[in-house]
Structure 1
Amino acid sequence: MLPAFFAEAKKTRLTDNPLYGVATISPEEFLGYPLGERLLRHDQINYYLQQIAQQNPRVSLEDTGVSHEARKQLTAVITSVENQAKLDDILAQRQQVKYGAQQDGPLIIWLAYSIHGDEISGAHSAIKLSHMLATSEEKWVTNLLNNAVVLITPSQNPDGLDRFSTWANGYAGKVAVSDPNHKEHKQGWPSGRSNHYLADLNRDWLFLRHPESQGRVALFHRWQPHYVGDFHEMGHNHSYFFQPGVPDRTHPLTPAANQKLTAKLAAYHQAELDTKKQAYFSRQLFDDFFYGKGSTYPDINGAIGVLFEQASARGQQQASVNGLVTMQEAIDNQYATSISSLKGALALRSELEQYQAEFFEDKHQKAMKKKPRQAGLLMSTSKDSGRIKVLTQLLAQHQIEYYYLTNPLSQGEIDFAVNSSIFIPNNQAQSALLTAMFDDRTEFVDPTFYDISTWNLQHAFDLTLRRNVKLELSVLNQTAPKFTVNQWDDKAVALLINWQQSQAVLLLQQLLEQGVLVKFAAKPFSIKQQNKNTDFAAGSLQIPLKQDKFSASDINKLVAKLAQKLQVDVVATNTSSASAGIDLGSPDFKVIKPIRPLLISGKGTSISEVGQLWYYLDNTLGVATTMVDINQLPSINLSDYSHVLFADGRYQTLDERFARKLGQFASEGGVIIAQKGALNWLSRANLLKTNLRSDRFYKQLFDAEGLTFDKKSKFRAKQAIGGAILELKLDTSHPINFGLPSDRLPILKNKVLGFSQVTGDFSVAAKYASQPLLSGYLAQEYQSSFSNSAAIIVESHNKGAVVALADNLLFRNIWLGSEKVYANALYFIPALH
């Protein structure tokens, strides 16, 4: 028997340590094998976080929603037990940081991993780190958790991570294979880098087109962290990278103090990796420019964001020029820089807090009502309330203040309608981010960009914008104007819809799915109502109220319901007689047929652009979309489909036999929609008559004479098009441009490709403007060459057509201003050939 003293001791706690007697399961115990021996699935990660949160008082969880495939996104919140008890108070304090509140709470550190699903070492190191922080009694750890809250998000791309881990685990043998050619290291199409809709989520922090991104940014603003670590992997032949990155390629809006702090933090990463004898680099290759990335979004929001890149094994192990790269080594390196991030942030706590306080200082005003006039951005979407709604949702997610108009306004010759205009004050907490989102610079110190050089939302949404407009508060309102469906009586003969409304496309698609007859106007017209003429541009929709399958009453009820849901303005007319232009019974009103699109996917196509087309068709329009692997095309009966869509890509595996088959599809009335690199294949297959200009043509315009070898990289950067916004001039009479508000259209160009000069065959629907550059970097050689050259071509092929786009007009599904071109190609072009 135990002595009485020991028996009593077992009943009574002899320590104030809140972890006394707590057993927190380790990753190895949980998995039943060493961490990293097999690649983790997302459900394993989540279940492990749930386990330790239940077991350990230092750990709680944040739920930031689900992915497209309904995988829950969890973040571990790890801090002292005392801090866990007052998280609500801490969060309430964090909400006031933007508004000048004193920094008297704990330091907030957010470490986020594996936003690219096939960069999986970060997720494993996050699990290891979570357990260590939950259980360690080391003095520096207890000091850290007493003075900081650590947020750990192991998996930021649940769908992509599972896609990759399933692939790599499926091809991993009992004997590890380091040969880079082994199938374990060569993912199928699509790779695990992207999410369900094949989007790169590390390009979506600004645009927020996907739920994973929306949850992440909500978490950011909920906690307003001081430091964000963003953990990635790169090519297996590299070593290890951490920022600050290339100094000259930092965005000019990022404060200099940000980069100085990043350099101070780098000393901790250096020390940790030097101890491991791990080679690294820090001021090359990667930049800190595009605010849509996880390491850069914090920089324009009052935090310090740091990018980490580990050489990737893309599986268990892979041979490289530097020797063997293993998953275990990658996990250890990511863990090491996670530790250095925690130690560095804690050591620099006062500087991080001071930096954040100074970042938001004087950017806000606590009571807007104290100043009756405000200066800011006044913007409109030319009577399209749909685009304004999407824009305001985006602004709200970034916590940018905006206001609606209470009455119509005019600025010069521009009218700003109530339902399609907003005002954004300059003086607000998020003014730095606001400036970045509408930045239109065209001059740069270094023309090298890891991603795009511009993302100005004025052009992405095709906004009419006036800067530094001063408005009285009396004309502003925080509440959106109420939408009410127009009423129409029994005398109505047809319903009319202005096609400029972006939501009209959704209404059209839902009517077609239910078998309702809808027509579009190939020419403009006017209808007199109550002694007043109402003008309708070409492309406007007509829903006749006399139809075979439906009564007028049924159509009225259906359209009214959809119009209210989608907030689409519908006008009724009691006569088919136009006061000007074509009558409603004119043959120039064309019947719109239901669409059945086929989207080509697979190896040889651009993963991201296939995803953007799929997102638009499926998620935006709600169209049942058939995706077919490129290798299966020879066995597909194309007559089952109305459209074949080609994203950017090489398409080298398509042969002459398929070209003939596709040509027959077009001749019989099918429409081919192709963009960027796909045009090269169409040209070789003699399906595109217009001649192309490829990068070989354009690069001969650049003179390298006299340049020394060390200028080679900058010369190549000049030859690249790293995402610049150009202006198109439109043929507004062309059906592909119906519904666009003016004769100009901003697009984002990121590929060296164009058309030769075309004259006389009526196929040119849009040209680059004479001075095309609107925002971002584009070498003068390109500006001169693209000037006045064709950008959108529509060629007739007997009963069908080829719609050829030199650019991706859906860019990352944020380019809402030019989406209508695809809608027109889907619904209008088939009726006109």
Structure 2
Amino acid sequence: MYKYFCCFLLLAQFHFASAQNKTPDQFLGYPLGSKFAFHSNITDYFKSIQAANPDRVKLVQYGSTNEGRPLMLAFISSAENISNLEKIRTNHLKSVKLMEGKPDAGVPPIVWLSYNVHGNESVSANTSMKVLYELLNKDNALTQEFLKNMVIMIDPCINPDGYERYTQWYNRVQNATPDVTPFALEHDEPWPGGRFNHYLFDLNRDWAWQTQKETQQRIVIYNQWMPHFHADFHEMGSSRSYYFPPAAKPYNKDVTPWQRQFNELIGEYCRKYFDKNNWTYFTKNDYDLFYPSYGDTWPTANGAIGVTYEQGGGGRAGLGIKREDEHDTLTLQSRISHHYATSLATLEAVMSQKERVVSEFIKFHEDAANAPVGNFKTYVIKTKGNEERVRSFGDWLDKQGFTYGIAGKSLSTRGTELTSAVEQSLKVENNDILISAYQPKSNLLRILFDPKPVLEDSVTYDVTSWGLAYIFGLKAYGLKEKLTPATYQAEQIRNPVPATSPYAYIASWSAAEDAAFLADLLKNGILVKSSNVPFEMDKMTYKAGTLIITKKGNENPDFDKLVTSLADKHHVRLVAAKTGYVSSGADFGGDNVVFLKTPKVVLVSGDGISATAFGAVWHYFEQQIHYPVTIVNANRLGSLPWSEIDVLILPDGRYSDLINDKQLEAMQSWVRNGGKVIAMEGATNAFLNKPGFALTKKFSEKKKDADSFKKFGDQQREDASDSSPGSMFQITMDPTHPLAFGCNEEYFTIVRDAYERDFLKEGWNVGYFTENNYKAGFVGNKMTDKLKNTLIMGVQEMGRGQVVYLMDDPVFRAMLYNGKILFSNAVFR
């Protein structure tokens, strides 16, 4: 009996010991920061901590990445708060009118700490384990106060795919003893690097647009919780020190006085830690609060205190790197210490103002719902002729958490057309979309609709104009009067299978969804034609680019069922034509009704290619239209089997070392035989002034002598004067060219560079700038002339093939709705 009792004691002691919180060092089996933990190590550590503290930790998997890795969120608080977590959430949402009903109790501040949105800024995910451990350390009186007074949410790694791409590479190439020599292999991360997600998108610029799987899943749970505070942890160049708030100018004008004040307070608490340890840092430089799609600005527009922290290091730093300027070696362990310190400083600052953090958040949303700021109290979106893109816009509104509806009746009023800023008479029709400014998320709504945001300082490093009317290519108006929307429900399109096959099916070409429909048809072996001219049939008019799916050539017995089912899938309304004869335009057998080939598409990747430009095209094919694309390394351009390729896409990049004259001749011969090259942004340099290619550089004057006497202290502003970090322009288009089909009358784009291309003498100048195509955003005074009288989109016919020159990236960040249609034209037409 005694023997069994001893065994029981041993087992109980073992269970007790295994249930204790292990430090990261104990769990990993090595000192934290002495190597990079794999993503699975980090998630396993969080699971182990939850298992040991089920009363104080709740771990939720809110999604998964494209590569199948889990997206995790840990809730850490007192046992009382964790047991009442759902009640805290619902009371919180009720208090800001994002859930019906009245709260029956107050709520503590909800603080969300986001680590590793950029995969190779890998100190963050490693820091998250240290923060988690210390929050649960009962010997730490300060962190126990945190748990009593707050609900803390930790996302240990927003971008697991990028993080794992970096850590797998680094752990494979590092020396047994880390080599701190800056030019060592372990400081030379290969293309495309770990910064981006699977599709090489920058997740820190995707908060507003939600084009990526990770963002979409994160925003769902964000809107379910609406934290009072959101902290975003980053790294910057390894030669730099540490950045924490106050943020740099420009601030978006809609950042409230309280948010600005708390931004200063955060800096005070961070300085306390850094000054005590003699750590270097800087504030008020580089990292502004303007563009509303970052991990600090989007939460700020949602009423939270949103902040960014930047540690010197990044992918180049590895486990340690020698820094000549700082006379030290920057180690991963020191970087962890700094992010750990600002994590605690964040929580201290929030706790110091815990009542006001909550009350100001409630006031922010109450004011938004009851007395919204700004001239416009209602936004009107015209729907007639744009039903498919309005459906897409509605899906986006839902993801943001906005409420909206339809007019429900016709009325006459006055409104400001948002892309022209002209007030005019307006007829609001029954099915037009209405979005009232009287809602809790009114501030975010106003910021995203703003057609010309006020920029208080020109030194900013990202997009400076983003109005929704530009982005979605919709006719939108701002009204000074309050209109109450009626209930809206997106129409479910159902195309019946006809008893007798029609002569042809007709489908519009005016939406990104139409391109996905076309791709599906082609993949299923359906013959598709397109009218290159407008036509009229049965008193209905159809625009150039309209798809025509004839029975002739599609004798499959399941033809009607297949076409109608695919149309239903993509929300496309079909018209069944009884004849191929039209009352005006081109008959279906005419020369202007052309066959659309099922192209073999090849996309170039690798060293020298912009990772994000490549990723945007890759994502377009795989996730937006679901059409196969073959990816090749840029160093294979000299040995491609040209006869097997129909379309070659060259994303932005440096091609001077990738395409030599011999390869250019081979490519030209292939084009003449029917191939198509789509050269984007910097890739167009490969064809500039080359024999047989029509692309030339626009003449520009030499710099004035005054530039020789510029001041060293003005260097940053001098650089800004010759830049456009992302301004809005309207491209003058030739709507009769197939490249422009379906893009509506107005085509807006985000300009980030000037390529100064002359108009094509031999070819089609499809899109271009004249004297004043500028709409909004910052453009430096030296950049202004470069963006006048210049080619933006051109097509050169060469034998039986084409070269498409795109000095603008139509699929940039998957943001521009019209851009997706134009790029579809470039590929399929």
Normalising by structure 2, report the TM-score: 0.91
Q: Report what 2:579 is aligned to.
A: 575
Partner-residue secondary structure (3-state), 1:342: helix
- State the 1:685 CA deviation: 4.5
Q: Is the 8 A contact 1:725 1:749 kept in 2?
A: yes
1:26 aligns with 2:36: no
Aligned to 1:643: 647
Task: State the secondary structure of the residue aligned to 1:568.
Answer: coil
Runs of 4+ in 1 over 3 A off after TM superposition: 19-22, 100-103, 404-419, 469-473, 486-489, 684-688, 697-709, 779-785
Unaligned runs of 5+ in 2: 414-423
Which residue of structure 2 lines up, in the alignment, with residue 513 of structure 1?
A: 523
Moved more, 707-716 or 534-543: 707-716
> Which residue type is aligned with residue 713 of structure 1?
Q
Superposition deviation, residue 486 in structure 1: 6.0
Aligned counterparts of 1:81 and 1:456: Cα–Cα separation in 2: 45
Residue 436, structure 1, aligned to residue 436, structure 2? no
CA displacement at 1:469 relative to structure 2: 6.6
Map of 1:535 onto structure 2: 541
Distance 2:681 2:701 in 1: 15
Kindly state the Cα deviation for residue 491 of structure 1 after the two structures are TM-superposed.
6.5
Q: 1:646 to 1:181 in 2, by over 3 A?
A: same
Cα deviations by residue, 1:436-457 (Å, 9 ceiling, x for unpaired):
1111226533111121111112
Correspondence for 2:467: 456
User: How far off is 1:167 after superposition?
Assistant: 0.7
Which residue of 598, 611, 614 maps to 1:610?
614
Shift of 1:479: 2.3
| Letter of the 2:824 counterpart | A
Q: Which moved more, 1:727-736 or 1:780-789?
A: 780-789
Alignment-derived partner of residue 49 in structure 2: 52
- Counterpart of 1:763? 764
The equivalent of 2:291 in structure 1 is 290
User: Taking structure 1 as reference, are residues 143 and 169 closer, same or farther at Cα in structure 2, changes over 3 Å only?
Assistant: same
Kept in 2, the 8 Å contact 1:456–1:775? The answer is: no
Aligned match of 2:85 in 87, 93, 107?
Answer: 87
Asked if the contact 1:382/1:464 (under 8 Å) is kept, the reply is no
2:515 aligned counterpart, secondary structure: helix
1:684 is displaced (CA, Å) by 5.5
Read off the aligned partner of 2:595 and give its amino acid letter.
V
- The amino acid across from 1:94 in the alignment is H
Match for residue 477 of structure 1 among 487, 500, 506:
487
Taking the aligned partners of 2:252 and 2:429, their CA distance within structure 1 comes to: 35
2:730 is aligned to 727
Task: State the partner residue of 2:624.
Answer: 620
Find the residue that maps to 1:292 and give its secondary structure.
coil
SS of 1:562's partner is: helix
CA gap 1:417/1:808 in 2 versus in 1, 3 angstroms: farther
CA distance in 1, matches of 2:498, 2:334: 70
Find the counterpart in structure 2 of residue 711 from structure 1.
Answer: 714
Give the Cα separation in 2 of the matches to 1:521 and 1:758.
25
Indicate conservation of the 8 Å contact 1:698/1:782, yes or no: no
Which residue of 673, 683, 690 corresponds with 2:678?
A: 673
The alpha carbon displacement at 1:122 in A equals 1.0
How far apart in 2 are the matches of 1:580 and 1:751?
43
CA distance in 1, matches of 2:554, 2:475: 43
Once residues 581 and 811 of structure 2 are traced to their aligned partners in structure 1, the CA distance between those partners, rounded to angstroms, is 38
SS of the aligned residue for 1:771 comes to coil
Quote the offset at 1:302 in angstroms: 1.0
**Secondary structure of the structure 2 residue equivalent to 1:284:** coil
Query: Pairwise mapping of residues 169-568 of structure 1 onto structure 2 (< 5 A)?
Result: 169-246=171-248, 248-312=249-313, 314-320=317-323, 321-322=325-326, 323-365=328-370, 375-380=377-382, 383-406=385-408, 421-441=432-452, 444-468=455-479, 473=484, 476-485=486-495, 488=498, 490=500, 492-528=502-538, 533-547=539-553, 549-551=555-557, 554-568=558-572
TM-score scaled by length of structure 1: 0.91
Q: Once superposed, what is the RMSD of the aligned Cα atoms?
A: 2.7
CA separation of 1:780/1:381 partners in 2, compared to 1, >3 Å: closer, same or farther?
farther
Distance across 2 between alignment mates of 1:609 and 1:602: 11
Amino acid at match of 1:634: G
Please give the alpha-carbon distance, in whole angstroms, between the structure 2 residues aligned to 1:198 and 1:748.
19
Alpha-carbon distance between aligned partners in 1 of 2:780 and 2:805, rounded to the nearest angstrom: 24
- Structure 2 Cα separation of the partners of residues 42 and 566 of structure 1: 37
CA contact (8 A) 2:93 2:226 kept: yes
Q: Give the secondary structure class of the aligned counterpart of 2:152.
A: strand
Question: 2:38 is matched with which residue?
Answer: 41
Distance 2:362 2:701 in 1: 48
**1:737 Cα deviation after fit:** 0.6
Letter of the 1:51 counterpart: S
Aligned to 1:16: none
SS state at 2:772 partner: strand
Percent identity of paired positions between Structure 1 and Structure 2: 27
Point out the more displaced range, 657-666 or 22-31.
22-31
| Cα 1:139–1:699 shift into 2, 3 Å | farther
Q: Is the 8 A contact 1:376 1:424 kept in 2?
A: yes
Structure 2: which amino acid aligns with 1:49? F
Structure 1 residues 332 and 496: CA distance shift in structure 2, 3 A: same
Displacement of 1:173 after TM fit?
Answer: 1.5
Q: Which moved more, 1:271-280 or 1:211-220?
A: 211-220
Q: CA deviation at 1:633?
A: 2.0
Q: Distance in 1 between matches of 2:412 and 2:66?
A: 42
How far residue 345 of structure 1 moved from its aligned partner, in angstroms, is: 1.3
> 2:246·2:266 contact (CA, 8 Å) conserved in 1?
no
8 Å Cα contact 1:23/1:55 also seen in 2: yes
Structure-2 change in CA distance of 1:206 and 1:685 (3 Å): same
State the match for 1:634 in structure 2: 638
Matches within 5 A, 1:116-127: 116-127=118-129
The correspondence for 2:65, drawn from 52, 64, 67, is: 67
Number of aligned residues: 797
Cα shift readout 1:103-127 (whole Å, capped 9, x = no counterpart): 8211111111110000011111111
Task: Measure, in 2, the Cα distance between the counterparts of 1:336 and 1:259.
Answer: 22
Offset at residue 478 of structure 1 (A): 3.3
> What whole-Å deviation, never above 9, does each CA across 1:643-663 have from its counterpart, x for those lacking one?
111111111222222212211
Q: Judging changes above 3 Å, is the alpha-carbon distance between structure 1 residues 491 and 676 closer, same or farther for their aligned structure 2 residues?
A: closer
1:429 to 1:442, Cα distance in 2 relative to 1, 3 A: closer
Mapped contact 1:440–1:776 kept (Cα < 8 A): no
CA displacement at 1:20 relative to structure 2: 11
Partner SS state of residue 462, structure 2? coil
SS at match of 2:367: coil
Aligned match of 1:371: none
AA of the residue aligned to 2:661: E
1:370-406 C-alpha deviation (Å, 9 max, x unpaired): xxxx941111365233322222222222211111354
**Secondary structure at the counterpart of residue 672 of structure 1:** strand
Q: Distance in 1 between matches of 2:169 and 2:383?
A: 45
* Contact 2:137 2:143 (C-alpha < 8 Å) held by counterparts: no
- Following the alignment from structure 1 to structure 2, what is the Cα–Cα distance between the partners of residues 43 and 251? 38
Q: Residue type matched to 2:457 in 1? A: D
Question: Aligned with 2:767: secondary structure?
Answer: strand
